[in-house]
Structure 1
């Protein structure tokens, strides 16, 4: 089941990348808000929702990838 293991590593890698990107984006968004950048309220809400949804997707991919890796033993 070599392909299961490869898929597992791919999913875990994508999950890690997802967390890295979206946590960095969240920090930048928070810093922009702290600096007082003027954007409509919808801007802040939409980007916050994107961050939350993509972190959930990253968590799901990580769990599925970890299960694949355990199953491929």
Structure 2
């Protein structure tokens, strides 16, 4: 079962800052082109990598089906 790791997080790359609230364990970021989704993805994934966050999976349009399957299996072992 998925669980909410953080209710709110603030991340920055020194130029751009995001103050983001999570409402469920699975969060999907979507919207029109050019609104900062990729920038948020890059900053947040770097942040999670720096703090060695476990149980966080990043999937974008470039993620292969095999990688998604592998990530989901990994999460299953973390939360089992």
Q: Which TM-score band (shorter chain)? A: 0.3 to 0.5
The TM-score, its normalising length taken from structure 1, stands at: 0.32
The TM-score, its normalising length taken from structure 2, stands at: 0.30
Kindly indicate which of the two structures has a greater share of residues assigned to strand.
2
Q: Which has the higher contact order (CA 8 A, sep 6+)?
A: 1
Max Rg structure: 1
